[in-house]
DNA sequence: ATGAAAGCGCTAACAA
DNA sequence: TTGTTAGCGCTTTCAT
C-alpha cells in the first residue's frame, strides 16, 4: 500500500493538517515539529499524491501540434518541456495531424484530465473549439498561429515578413522567376508567407504568377513532386521558396535527381531552421524562427495565465531571420 | 462552475450512483433511465473529472528519454502516443539528457502524479532508480535498452547484430580499414554495437584496432570532429560506421569539406533510419531500427502490465535491418 | 433497478 | 502552534 499523509501523521505523532502545512509551507509550524515531520517523510519515503486534492490541478499542460515527429515541433517541445519543468509543470503531447476530429478528441481528453493549461500549435483547429476551451476557463496560448478574431495570448513569428525576406533575398541575388511550394493555404502561417512572397515580388516589379505557387504540400515527398512539376517545363524558375524545411529538402533532392546543380542552376530557400536544415549538406538557406525564444515565451505566458488569469491578452510577434546556407547563389 | 456528476443527477432526477453506473457501464440500469441520463449529460456538456476519483489512475504514462528533440525518440514517441491514445492513455514526455539527477527528478514527479506506467528509453539511468520504480509497483517497460540483471519488460533491437551487419556490409564491399564513431560506451546499446562491429572484423580476419574507434560522441558536431581526426592521418580508413544518424551526418559533412568524395573515396554507415537519414542527400546507408514495431510493442507490453501485472516479464529483441542508401560503395 | 453513504488522499476553514 | 472536520468529484459496497 502506498504511504499516505495519514501514515506520516500517525508515525510523527501529529495531525494530518500539520503535515499538510509542512508540505505546502502554509500556516505556521514549530521548528521541531517541522523537523520531525520532514524526517518521517524521508523515512517513510512518502510521496504526496498530487491527484488526490481535487482543487489543486495536476501541474500539467497539454501541447497540441500537428506531429511530435515534425522537427520544428519536437525542438520547440523540448524548450517548452524544460521551461515547464523548472516551474513544476509536466508536458502532455497531442499530435493531431491537423485533423479536426483528433483536435476535438484531444481537447476533450485534456479537459477531463484537469490539465492546467493548453498550448495550441495545431493548424486547422476551427475557432469554435478554441472558443470552447477559452470559455471553460482553461488558460490557453496559441503558438505559431494567429487568430485575430479571438482574445487569446499568442506567440508567433511574422510570417508575412518571413515570406517577404525569402523572396527579397532571392530577388537580390538576381532571380526573377521565383516559384513557391507551400502547405495548405487554409493554414494561416502558410498563407501569410505566400502573401509576403507576393508583396516582395510586386515591389520589385515582378508579376505574381499563380502557376508558380504549388499548394497543399506537406511531406518532403510532396516537395519532390512539386519541384518536379515546376522544373519540367520550358523556361523553368531559377529559384524556389519552400514554406517548410521538409518541402525544401524534397525540392533539393529532386533538383539533383534531375541533373541540375544546386545552387548554380537553382536556388532554394526554406523556413524554420531546425536541426534538419542545419545538418543538411549543404546547410539550407532558410528563414529562421527563433525556436528557443518562442518556446520560452509561450510557457511564460501560459504560466502567468495559470497563476492569475488576465483580462488583457498579449499577442507577441517575433521577427524571423534570414540564415544564409549553401542552397542559394546569384543567378547566372 | 464546472458541471459535476451531481448536477447531472439532479437534472435527470436520479442519484449520483446511477449516473456513475451509466458512465462506467457497471451494474444494471433501466433502459429509459440510461437514455435520460445520457441525454442530460449531452445537454449539460458534462465532462467527467478523471482526477477526482482517487482510485482510478490518470490514464497517463510517462516516456523518459534523452531528448524529444532527437529524431529517433520523436518518431517513436509519435508511435507510442498514437497507440496509447487508441487505448485511452496520454503521454508525458521526460527529456533527461541522460543526466542521472534529471532522471531521479522525473521519476519522482511521475510517481507523485500517479502515472499509470513508465517507458524508460533513457541511457545512464542507474539500476537503483529503476529498481525503485519496480518496487513501487509502477508498471515499467524498457525501450531500446537492455538490463539483463533486472526482471523487467523490455523492447530493443539486437544492437550486437546491428553492429555486426554494418561492419559485415562494409567488409563485403571490400573495405579493410573500417573506423567507428560511437557514443559513450557506458550506454549499453553503443557498447553492443561496437562489440558486433569488432566481431565482424575478427571473423573476416581483420585485426580490431582500438585507435579506429572514437568514443564519447553525441552531436553531429562531434561526428565532424571525430571524422576529421580519423581522416587527417597517413593511410586513413576507407569506411566509417557511425553508431547514430547524427554522427553519420556529421562525418559526411566533414568528409566533403576535406575534399573527399562520398561514396567513392569513403563509405559511411549510420544507425536508426529516421526521417533524417532518409531525407538526407544521398540517403544514408544505415542499420534500421523498426521504429513502428518497437513503439507499438512497448505500449502493448505496458498496457498489459497496467491491466494485470504479470509475474513473468518479457524481453523482446527485434532484428535490425541494413538499408542501403547512397553513402556506401565498393572500395576502389 | 436504484439510492444512501462510506471512502479515496488531500487541503483549508475554523477551533482550540 | 496544532488539531478537527468538512468538503473536492467520483466510485463502490450494501441496502432497498
CATH number, domain at B141?
Answer: 3.40.50.2300
What global pTM score does this model have?
Answer: 0.92
String of DSSP letters for A17-68: HHHHHHHHT-S---HHHHHHHHHHHHHHT----TTT-TTS--SEEEEEES-T
B79 with B89, same domain: the answer is yes
Helix (H) or strand (E) holding B59: none
B38 Cβ contact list (under 8 Å, min separation 6): B22
Confidence of residue A262 (pLDDT cuts 50, 70, 90): very high
Nucleotide of closest approach to A54 (CA, C1'): D8
> Measured between alpha carbons, how far is B316 from A165 in angstroms, rounded to an integer?
51
In a domain, A296, yes or no: yes
| Bond into B162 cis (ω within 30) | no
Confidence of residue A1 (pLDDT cuts 50, 70, 90): low
Of B68, B85, B249, the CB nearest to A279: B249
B54/C5 CA-to-C1' distance in Å = 17
Query: Quick check: B55 CB within 7 A of strand D?
Result: yes
Enumerate residue ranges in chain B where pLDDT < 50. Answer: none
B39 with B68, same domain: the answer is no
* Number of independent structural domains in chain A: 3
Give the per-residue pLDDT at B53. Answer: 63
CB contact under 8 A, B114 and A49: yes
Chain-centroid distance, C-alpha B148: 18
Chain-centroid distance, C-alpha B47: 33
Give the per-residue pLDDT at A303. Answer: 93
CB contact under 8 A, B81 and A93: yes
B216 with B185, same domain: the answer is yes
Q: Would you say B50 and B58 are in contact if contact means Cβ atoms under 8 Å apart?
A: yes
Q: Which residue is nearest to nucleotide D11 (CA to C1')?
A: B53
Q: Which residue is nearest to nucleotide D9 (CA to C1')?
A: B52
Higher pLDDT, A131 or B177: B177
String of DSSP letters for A185-217: TTSHHHHHHHHHHHHHHHHTTPPP-GGGEE---
Query: Quick check: A174 CB within 7 A of strand D?
Result: no
Give the per-residue pLDDT at A124. Answer: 61
Q: What residues of B are in contact with residue A136 (Cβ under 8 Å)?
A: 2
Task: State the count of interchain CB pairs (< 8 A) between A and B.
Answer: 133
B171 with B275, same domain: the answer is yes
A204 with A193, same domain: the answer is yes
> Measured between alpha carbons, how far is A11 from B175 in angstroms, rounded to an integer?
69
Q: What residues of A are in contact with residue B256 (Cβ under 8 Å)?
A: 281
A14 with A55, same domain: the answer is no
B195 with B310, same domain: the answer is no
Q: What residues of A are in contact with residue B223 (Cβ under 8 Å)?
A: none
Query: What is the residue range of B167's domain?
Result: 159-289
In a domain, B68, yes or no: yes
What chain A residue is nearest to B66 in terms of C-alpha separation?
A78
- For B281-326, the pLDDT digits (tens) are 999 999 999 999 999 999 999 999 988 888 899 999 999 999 999 9
Average pLDDT of the residues in A65-75: 96
Of A49, A78, A280, the CB nearest to B112: A49
Helix (H) or strand (E) holding B163: helix B159-172
B56 with B146, same domain: the answer is yes
User: What letters, b where the CB count within 10 A reaches 16 and e where it falls short, cover A168-183?
Assistant: bbbbebebebbbbbbb
Give the per-residue pLDDT at B119. Answer: 96
Give the per-residue pLDDT at B203. Answer: 97
> Measured between alpha carbons, how far is B9 from A90 in angstroms, rounded to an integer?
34
Of A85, A108, A246, the CB nearest to B47: A108
Please count the helices (runs of H) and the strands (runs of E) in chain B. Answer: 12, 12
A11/D4 CA-to-C1' distance in Å = 18
- For A191-231, the pLDDT digits (tens) are 999 999 999 999 999 999 999 999 999 999 999 999 999 99
Amino acid at each position: 500500500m502506498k504511504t499516505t499523509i495519514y501514515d506520516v501523521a500517525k508515525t510523527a505523532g501529529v495531525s494530518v493538517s500539520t503535515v499538510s502545512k509542512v508540505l505546502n509551507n502554509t500556516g505556521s509550524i514549530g521548528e521541531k515539529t517541522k523537523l520531525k515531520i520532514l524526517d518521517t517523510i524521508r523515512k517513510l519515503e512518502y510521496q504526496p499524491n498530487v491527484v488526490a486534492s481535487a482543487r489543486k490541478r495536476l501541474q500539467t499542460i497539454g501541447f497540441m501540434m500537428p506531429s511530435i515527429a515534425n522537427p520544428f515541433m519536437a525542438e520547440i517541445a523540448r524548450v517548452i518541456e524544460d521551461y515547464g519543468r523548472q516551474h513544476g509543470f509536466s508536458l502532455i503531447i497531442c499530435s493531431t495531424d491537423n485533423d479536426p476530429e483528433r483536435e476535438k478528441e484531444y481537447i476533450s481528453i485534456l479537459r477531463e484530465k484537469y490539465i492546467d493549461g493548453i498550448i495550441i500549435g495545431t493548424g486547422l483547429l476551427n475557432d469554435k473549439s478554441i472558443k470552447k476551451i477559452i470559455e471553460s476557463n482553461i488558460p490557453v496560448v496559441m503558438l505559431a498561429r494567429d487568430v485575430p478574431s479571438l482574445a487569446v495570448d499568442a506567440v508567433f513569428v511574422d510570417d508575412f515578413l518571413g515570406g517577404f525576406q525569402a523572396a527579397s533575398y532571392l530577388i537580390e541575388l538576381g532571380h526573377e522567376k521565383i516559384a513557391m511550394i507551400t502547405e495548405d493555404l487554409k493554414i494561416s502561417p502558410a498563407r501569410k508567407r505566400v502573401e509576403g512572397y507576393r508583396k516582395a515580388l510586386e515591389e520589385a516589379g515582378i508579376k505574381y504568377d499563380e502557376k508558380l505557387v504549388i499548394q497543399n504540400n506537406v511531406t518532403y515527398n510532396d516537395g519532390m513532386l512539386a519541384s518536379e512539376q515546376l522544373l519540367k517545363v520550358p523556361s523553368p524558375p531559377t529559384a524556389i521558396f519552400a514554406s517548410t524545411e521538409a518541402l525544401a529538402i524534397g525540392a533539393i533532392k529532386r533538383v539533383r535527381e534531375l541533373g541540375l546543380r544546386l545552387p548554380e542552376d537553382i536556388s532554394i530557400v526554406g523556413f524554420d531552421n531546425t536541426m534538419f536544415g542545419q545538418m543538411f549538406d549543404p546547410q539550407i538557406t532558410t528563414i529562421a524562427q527563433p525556436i528557443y525564444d518562442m518556446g520560452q515565451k509561450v510557457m511564460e505566458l501560459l504560466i502567468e495565465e495559470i497563476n492569475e488569469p488576465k483580462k488583457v491578452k498579449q499577442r507577441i510577434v517575433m521577427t524571423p531571420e534570414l540564415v544564409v546556407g549553401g542552397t542559394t547563389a546569384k543567378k547566372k
